[in-house]
Structure 1
Amino acid sequence: MTTKSPLLSRPGAVEAAGADAGVASHYGEPLREQRALAAGTAVVDLSHRGVVTVTGPDRLSWLNTLSSQQVANLQPAESTELLLLSVQGRIEFDARVVDDGGTTWLIVEAAEAGPLAEWLTRMKFMLRVEVADVSAEWAVVGSTKAVPEWSGLLVWQDPWPHVAAGGYSYAVVPEDTHPGAERPWFEYLVPAAELEETVGDRKLAGVLSAEALRVAAWRPRLGAETDDKTIPHELDLLRTAVHLAKGCYKGQETIARVHNLGHPPRRLVFLQLDGSQHTLPAAGSEVRVGERKVGTVTSVAQHYEMGPIALAVIKRSVAPDEILTVMDGDEPYTAAQEVIVAPDAGQVVGRQTGFLRGTHK
């Protein structure tokens, strides 16, 4: 059962659906709210997020052995992102990670907290760790700027779009011109009982605003850009969520093989949609070249400056200059693509030339 945020009682609040149920989609003025969120003058209620804690002296070394990320030496208040993968290298969990010196906090999608806590508990063995799903006791509030009055709260700062230590960029643009550089992102952990008091009279933006800024930043989201076959390379997640030089973990062989010798079969792409129509295609709509299906729209948003935009996952073989058509039922939408993951991403061993000019650390 979805727990509804107390902030839904604010004037104009309209509840979101799907993965964001339980918080406000908007408060009556979506584009104005989005502009305020981008400017740092509004915050967004993300209290539907799942929160899992890991305590005990072995917590960081244990998470290090399980995940794609190097977290053994994670410092208090330092933020990172980790993936838990299948043996085939497919994404099973994607967690935002911050440690306070005694507890590691994992912020995940609403539906993922219970399954993640159960999975981690099964992997404890004899190690000195304790896992808890504390989603009911903690809320999350998002912002594009640090909030000085909240300096006493633990905060996760999104590493996107920087290339973390041990990471690798599959994007064709450098960090300083990456669209994600225009979207700093902070997620504050707030005791659920103190959510209303903490937010106070600050201007609120709905999750529609946060999603539009995320799509514009090319930032993938678990459950939106992912399916049961997604590998990190397809979404450019090697830049923030994978350490290519760390020790063994489940799925590492696929990560290394595709990165060094192969190519990801699909690639994330940004779509600028035809703005002459008064509707938006739904997530899940087909992406076509002519009559041939080449991918799927994964996220759609109305951006306050760019108009209708989307993220899609398409076949690697689609030419970067191809004009695409999004089909929502019988309704076509012309879409110009911007390359996120380079068509020749991967196969870095022996690479001399190519489309990819990504950075690595």
Structure 2
Amino acid sequence: MSNSPFLERPGAVDGAGRDAGVPAHYGNPMAEQRALSDGLAVVDLSNRAVLTITGPDRLTWIDSLTSQSVARLTPGESSETLLLDPTGRLEYAVRLLDDGVALWLLLESDEAPGLLAWLDRMRFMLRVELADRSADFATIGTLGSPEVAAAEPNGVPLVWHDPWASVTPGGHQYAVIDRHPGADWTYSEILVPREALADLAALPAAGVLALEALRIAAWRPRFATEADDRTIPHELDWLRSAVHLSKGCYRGQETVAKVHNLGHPPRRLVMLHLDGSESVLPQPGDDVVDGDKVVGAITSSARHFELGPIALAVVKRTTDPLVTLTVRAADGIVAAAQEIVVPPEAGAEAHVPRLPRLGAVKR
């Protein structure tokens, strides 16, 4: 993909890592957060991938392979699903939108080749066709409804609405809170013809740093940051939006059901309120410590325009939820107060009664 026209705006600073190729900010990340939060700005995500699956078997096929129930997805309806390995660990997280002719898959650009190749091997005799449409369509993010005309190649506007705002049918929330911060997360992604980016670059815009700060505050997991090669959905409270617990069998389903009904996820997601007195912002990968024991790692961090410095971290399940943790950042030690996303007791929802051992004497 060519460089985004948004990078030609005054003050635009290129993103890094997986966010390279689109602006991280335009010189004032805090003001950009406010505008984005108020629905007055767009975020250039044109470095992300867009895949399509066409054919009459597209929905039932993806339904049979992944964690969400999408066989009856209606035109214009949004969803999110996870592709797991046979042991239940995350391999891909995919945002889905069907327009009645094609199923559109939105994901990080570096994940697209692997997913496309895997899906191609799984087609067998099914009536499906795969395509990478990233060269034709670009992604624009928003938390409001600015004047962005979505592409409509098959008569349905290609707008993906994030289901994170509430627990989806068949899903489950581990977070124990009266009002989940995700309830205010009105995030959408709009697909536009790639040639329209030059005109859209004139709109009020925020960088990806602004989007990341608001995402962290909403406890919203991102596969590119919160997941690693050991992650299972329960650890990130991702059963909330991307897993249907009573649908049919799919790869990794046994682990999903077993942990949810009988066990506990080995790790859990927390949001950390960081001490900002030393102006040190920990970075992904920095150790999270309880006393002298490393209990986890930072996955995402940001400076929020209202909350100050915050982060998401994945820690051991047994970490005391009441203790103040510390983070070993490159520039110093930072105190971190926990806000519990996934509680230590998450899982074991079946409450199966303990059976007496064979030969045990009843009293």
- Normalised by the length of structure 2, the TM-score is 0.93
Counterparts in 2 of 1:330 and 1:240: CA distance versus 1, 3 Å: same
Match in the other structure for 1:86: 85
Match in the other structure for 1:180: 182
Number of residues of Structure 1 aligned to a counterpart in Structure 2 = 348
Match in the other structure for 2:94: 95
Measured against aligned partners, the alpha-carbon deviations of 1:119-164 in whole angstroms (never above 9, x if no partner) come to 1111100100011111122110011013465366410000003110
Match in the other structure for 1:317: 318
- Kindly state the Cα deviation for residue 223 of structure 1 after the two structures are TM-superposed: 2.1
- Report the residue type matching 1:298 in the other structure: T
- Kindly state the Cα deviation for residue 311 of structure 1 after the two structures are TM-superposed: 0.1
SS in 1 for 2:74: coil
2:75 is aligned with 1:71: no
CA RMSD in angstroms, aligned pairs only:
1.4
Counterparts in 2 of 1:20 and 1:261: CA distance versus 1, 3 Å: same
Distance of 2:147 and 2:75 partners within structure 1: 19
Match in the other structure for 1:57: 56
Distance of 1:71 and 1:147 partners within structure 2: 29
SS in 2 for 1:150: coil
Match in the other structure for 2:243: 242
SS in 1 for 2:63: helix
1:18-33 alignment runs, 5 A limit? 18-33=17-32
- Kindly state the Cα deviation for residue 330 of structure 1 after the two structures are TM-superposed: 6.3
Counterparts in 2 of 1:149 and 1:6: CA distance versus 1, 3 Å: closer
- Kindly state the Cα deviation for residue 281 of structure 1 after the two structures are TM-superposed: 1.1
- Normalised by the length of structure 1, the TM-score is 0.94
Distance of 2:255 and 2:244 partners within structure 1: 13
- Kindly state the Cα deviation for residue 200 of structure 1 after the two structures are TM-superposed: 5.3
Measured against aligned partners, the alpha-carbon deviations of 1:189-229 in whole angstroms (never above 9, x if no partner) come to 011111122x2532010000000000000000112100000
- Report the residue type matching 2:332 in the other structure: E
Match in the other structure for 1:355: none
Match in the other structure for 1:146: 145
- Report the residue type matching 1:185 in the other structure: Y
2:349 is aligned with 1:348: yes
Counterparts in 2 of 1:53 and 1:311: CA distance versus 1, 3 Å: same
Match in the other structure for 1:208: 209
Distance of 2:250 and 2:29 partners within structure 1: 42
**Rg larger in structure:** 2
- Report the residue type matching 1:72 in the other structure: A
Match in the other structure for 2:280: 279
Measured against aligned partners, the alpha-carbon deviations of 1:37-63 in whole angstroms (never above 9, x if no partner) come to 001111100111111100001000100
Moved >3 Å (runs of 4+): none
Counterparts in 2 of 1:330 and 1:210: CA distance versus 1, 3 Å: closer
Match in the other structure for 1:356: none
1:129-168 alignment runs, 5 A limit? 129-147=128-146, 150=149, 153-168=157-172
- Whether the 8 Å CA contact 2:327–2:333 is kept in 1: the answer is yes
- Kindly state the Cα deviation for residue 81 of structure 1 after the two structures are TM-superposed: 0.3
Segments of 5+ residues of structure 2 without an aligned counterpart are: 354-363
Distance of 1:280 and 1:170 partners within structure 2: 28
Distance of 2:310 and 2:165 partners within structure 1: 19
Distance of 1:117 and 1:342 partners within structure 2: 35
